[in-house]
Structure 1
Amino acid sequence: MSLPETIVVPLARAMAAKGYKNLTEVQSAILAGDAQGQDLLVSAQTGSGKTVAFGMAIAPTLLEGADRFTEQGAPLALIIAPTRELALQVQRELDWLYAETGAKTASCVGGMDMRTERRALERGAQIVVGTPGRLRDHITKGVLDTSALRAVVLDEADEMLDLGFREDLEFILDAAPADRRTLLFSATVPRQIANLAKTFQKDALRIAATSAASQHADIDYKLVLIPAAERENAIINTLLYFDSANTIVFASTREGVKHLSARLHNRGFDVVTLSGELSQSERTNALQSMRDGRARICVATDVAARGIDLPNLDLVIHADMPTNPDTLLHRSGRTGRAGRKGTCVLIVPMHRRNAVQRVLKMAKLGVAYMAAPTSNDIEARYRESILNDASLSKTPSEDETAIVAELMALHSPQAIAAAYLRQQIAARPAPEELSENMAPDKPGPSDPREKARFETGVWFKVSVGRKHRAEPRWLLPLICKAGGVTKAAIGSIRIFDTESHFEVSTPKAEAFAAAIARNGSGERGVTISAIDGDSPPSGKRTFPKSPRRPEGPVERYDPTASRPERADRAARYGAGPSDVDVVNPRAEKINPKDKGKPKWKDKTKPATASAPGPKKAKVAKKKDHKTKRKPQY
């Protein structure tokens, strides 16, 4: 299929040389007849070819019917991007797209030398690409002349507003000529984007390109549920299992990026990092290392979630799951771009699976559950890769033939093959050991397989109960630590007054019993032992029964009856004399002399022969004039 004739001829030749045969949906919409010369408000997902799309859209406005630029004056187009990496990537794309037009491009991004940028602007550039803050600085200092601008493009406008660049954007757009074209590209169109479009665009044409579902159709999502303590081991095994040419591993914090990259580097991986604390030169070098093959894994924060396009990026791993569905989509969109297939693996601790399910539901993504790759799975992949290595099928060159003959003369083919195998194994990192797969078919607390797992469990008891304030939240760690098992091996926990009973899955019961027999419970005064018998305890609380009411009619209480009758009635029910003797507690206070001494203290001071001490001066208490009462001290 040939490219549409509406594309400017020099750009069409550049795209054909680049291998373009079909246009994406957003690129086709840009070339529609009603979009020519109009302000555009375009919503398109990441990886849909937006850079080439707005490059084609503004070309007729910039060239005005010519095939090449003739003057090197003030800039004609201004492209604004939210991050440095995206701005530099846009510049690279426009360089090859406008190569035959003789266009000069310049970048103005934070973190770079402003003097170099100033000299590039003074030499002249038709297209300027930059970030909002640096562009505003150049305009304020009079370095960037905006008087000749014919088109302004806002790429990833929603991201720029989220990063707090609204004031900078308004300043730049106010400085541009009023008769310019304004093209606004955004993944979504929230209210603030719509308000920005109403303020700075004229009768903008609304174009809604690919949806999130169709955009991510080329991405295969995998969900790996693992214990929280094995997250890093699962990431290592996932990298070894897929063995992708380029991989991005996303972490939520800068400290997480440092820790994970250090762990991967120690395990023999070629790793670079990408986060906001790095300088622009460091970030540029990291991405260049990924492009030229010096590194294969990039551990990054969300600074790399938008706009970064790396060649042969087939795998994205979420080491920390985002809480925002848009962030999840933008992270995952680093792979599966421009028709390529990609894989996205979500490493999720078991206690976070419900929260992750909510994020996936909001993002409208379907995932397939996958067991964390084990050492056996990875060794099988190693074996397959070694046996199918393309270099084994190549014929030796003339320079290699002599050495091959010497090797065959000195060593047997089996020895040579064994040496080759050992070299291949030594060059590959060893996999990590993981516990057995814990991922259910449908995650949730009501999984029927979880109940069936403990139908044949073995019951144990621990010598603490309700009277000792025992609770499952501290009993479970105690049991797991004493028996050397995980919480997946523990079933029901039933707490009684003086002891608690718990269930251990049958495959783990024997090892659990051996561990507690060898090490005990690990707590002073607490013992753990098996319960005799196969039947589990009922778990019902028992209470002492109250005495039965005597037979016969029950006499009602008569307040007019005399007190002696109460003693007779008590005797009838079998009460003893001590139960019916009524003692009036007030009698002792009324007649204290009967007991020999009073029940109260004598507050009178005894007379002494010593001289009385100096009298304390009386302090008049202040009165509260508002309430006319004495204040309470």
Structure 2
Amino acid sequence: MTSFNDLGLNPALLTAITAGKYTQPTPIQAQAIPPVLQGRDLLGIAQTGTGKTAAFALPILHRLAAGNRRPAPKTCRALILSPTRELASQIAEKFRAYGHDSKLSVATVFGGVGMNPQVQALARGVDVLVATPGRLMDHMQQGTLRLDAVETVVLDEADQMLDLGFVHAIKRISQALPKQRQSLFFSATMPQNIAQLAAGFLKDPVRVEVTPAATTVERIDQQVVFIEAERKRALLLEIMADPTITRALVFTRTKHGADKVARHLGTGNVPAAAIHGNKSQSQRERALADFKAGRIRVLVATDIAARGIDVTGVSHVVNFELPNVPESYVHRIGRTARAGKDGMAISLCAQDERAYLRDIEKVTRQRIPSTDRRGDEKLAAATAAEPRGENRPQQPRPHGHGQNRGGQRSENRRGDSNGGHRSESRGGQPQGAKPGQKPAGGRRFGKPQGQRPSGNRDGGQRGSVH
């Protein structure tokens, strides 16, 4: 079995890995690190939570340290592009931890915060710059950063970065990069059209695919609950009454919906906070800090958080609303069952979301076990007791630009809220489907149990580097 010592990393990095109590590389790390050390371009596909960040951070730090030179003012030597602020901060933290003894500088550039501290950091030059495209282009246009000295560029979550909402920004950034460079793409999903687009940015890349694209982690026990839309919040409070749910992420499609769900949980004495693109950076950081510290039990988020939250001990993920982009389901539920632990994902599915469910099962190549709670008298009574006006379901609007199949505007962001790019998802009206079968007896939503959907156990090992 491959160990980190076998990969040829420098002693300072091995010391940091040992200090972090990591034992052996995950499959994506074992297969990606050697070609990246050799300077090859790479397209890496692996499940979320399997250590993709270390797969590019460790060899980049190794190569930068071996170069033994300092960056020129207003330049960077390695550029990592991230779709969200949270993910950018997370990546930068990992670079600092792994490169603690290498004396390499790391900086972040994203919107929602003042530019002056970023300008000051860039003026000195940095070895590693982690950025969202919108704010990066702001610095380029103002002359506070140039990219002609970049040796390695990374697109993390490449499928989202190269989707239609971001492709123009990426092309403009690519034109400012030197032609002689190393390019690395990493993602948990890679639709064929995005893969074709990525091919134009990579030169003779090594393809590392440790799991089929859009494969969910086997350690996640998944369940769908069929429920009327107007009774979802009552069911959510019932779910959260289970004491085995120690730390939960709840996902909605819209920013307004996230705020409403967080307020409703608060009325049920469930400490919760919402995080989405309309929140300021300080509000988002405070909510994440409270969630990590256990001061709140539930974090309600839009898909902006699905690829940027790396919080240990998330026992449950609840899809209050199913995503209208099926690949987002993989990223959402991948926030649990990390580092070898088990987790549970519960999806609440209304009638107008059946098409989303079919798309998810098609993309993930599995049938998700279901429970039918429609017509439940207990939930009906709880719903009737809610304050009037708070439980009024959103009426579907005529289909048009900027709307998804459920008639709601979803936050499918392609960057940060300050200078980023944004696109809205579109689709046709869903058609009905046969309802799920009712089980013989009830089922609690706590500790994972029962038969799990098929999947691969390639990642999420104990003692792995993420």
Tell whether the structures are fold-level matches, with TM greater than 0.5: yes
Contiguous gaps of at least 5 residues in structure 2: 374-380, 385-432, 441-466
Aligned twin of 1:41: 43
Aligned twin of 2:224: 223
Runs of 4+ with >4 A deviation: 69-73, 212-215, 350-355, 432-435, 445-450
Aligned twin of 1:254: 255
Deviation at 1:49, TM superposition (A): 0.9
Moved more, 159-168 or 86-95: 159-168
In structure 2, do the counterparts of structure 1 residues 362 and 30 end up closer, same or farther at CA, with 3 Å as the change threshold?
Answer: closer
Q: Measure, in 2, the Cα distance between the counterparts of 1:13 and 1:319.
A: 43
Name the SS of the counterpart of 1:286 in structure 2: helix
Q: Measure, in 1, the Cα distance between the counterparts of 2:116 and 2:344.
A: 42
Deviation at 1:14, TM superposition (A): 1.0
Q: Measure, in 2, the Cα distance between the counterparts of 1:154 and 1:260.
A: 33
Deviation at 1:266, TM superposition (A): 1.3
Aligned twin of 1:275: 276
Q: Output the amino acid matched with 2:434.
A: G
Deviation at 1:343, TM superposition (A): 0.6
RMSD in angstroms over aligned alpha carbons?
A: 3.0
Deviation at 1:327, TM superposition (A): 1.6
Q: Per-residue CA shift, 1:303-344, capped at 9, x if unaligned?
A: 112232112111100111123321211111111223221110
Q: Measure, in 1, the Cα distance between the counterparts of 2:266 and 2:324.
A: 28
Deviation at 1:111, TM superposition (A): 1.3
Q: Is the 8 A contact 2:47 2:188 kept in 1?
A: yes
Aligned twin of 1:288: 289
Q: Measure, in 2, the Cα distance between the counterparts of 1:84 and 1:263.
A: 27
Aligned twin of 2:417: none
Q: Per-residue CA shift, 1:350-405, capped at 9, x if unaligned?
A: 67557634532432234334577xxxxxxxxxxxxxxxxxxxxxxxxxxxxxxxxx
Q: Is the 8 A contact 1:47 1:334 kept in 2?
A: yes
Aligned twin of 1:444: 434
Q: Measure, in 2, the Cα distance between the counterparts of 1:262 and 1:20.
A: 39
Q: Is the 8 A contact 2:306 2:331 kept in 1?
A: yes
Q: Which has the higher helix share?
A: 1
Q: Output the amino acid matched with 1:301.
A: T
The TM-score, its normalising length taken from structure 1, stands at: 0.56
Q: How does 1:19-38 map to 2 (within 5 A)?
A: 19-32=21-34, 36-38=38-40
Identity of aligned residues (%): 35
Q: Measure, in 1, the Cα distance between the counterparts of 2:309 and 2:219.
A: 17
Name the SS of the counterpart of 1:201 in structure 2: coil
Name the SS of the counterpart of 2:274 in structure 1: strand
2:46 is the alignment partner of 1:56: no
Q: Output the amino acid matched with 1:256.
A: G
Name the SS of the counterpart of 1:284 in structure 2: helix
Q: Is the 8 A contact 1:219 1:344 kept in 2?
A: yes
Q: Measure, in 2, the Cα distance between the counterparts of 1:53 and 1:448.
A: 44
Q: Measure, in 2, the Cα distance between the counterparts of 1:12 and 1:448.
A: 53
Name the SS of the counterpart of 1:263 in structure 2: helix
Deviation at 1:31, TM superposition (A): 2.6
Deviation at 1:285, TM superposition (A): 1.6
In structure 2, do the counterparts of structure 1 residues 256 and 71 end up closer, same or farther at CA, with 3 Å as the change threshold?
Answer: closer
Deviation at 1:20, TM superposition (A): 0.9
Aligned twin of 1:318: 319
The TM-score, its normalising length taken from structure 2, stands at: 0.75
Contiguous gaps of at least 5 residues in structure 1: 373-431, 436-442, 451-633
Larger radius of gyration, structure 1 or 2? 1
In the comparison of the two structures, how many residue pairs are matched? 384
Aligned twin of 2:181: 180
Aligned twin of 1:480: none
Q: Measure, in 2, the Cα distance between the counterparts of 1:354 and 1:115.
A: 47
Q: Measure, in 2, the Cα distance between the counterparts of 1:446 and 1:91.
A: 44
Q: Measure, in 2, the Cα distance between the counterparts of 1:287 and 1:85.
A: 9
In structure 2, do the counterparts of structure 1 residues 447 and 239 end up closer, same or farther at CA, with 3 Å as the change threshold?
Answer: closer
Name the SS of the counterpart of 1:144 in structure 2: coil
Name the SS of the counterpart of 1:249 in structure 2: strand
Aligned twin of 2:122: 121
Aligned twin of 2:135: 134
Q: Output the amino acid matched with 1:30.
A: A
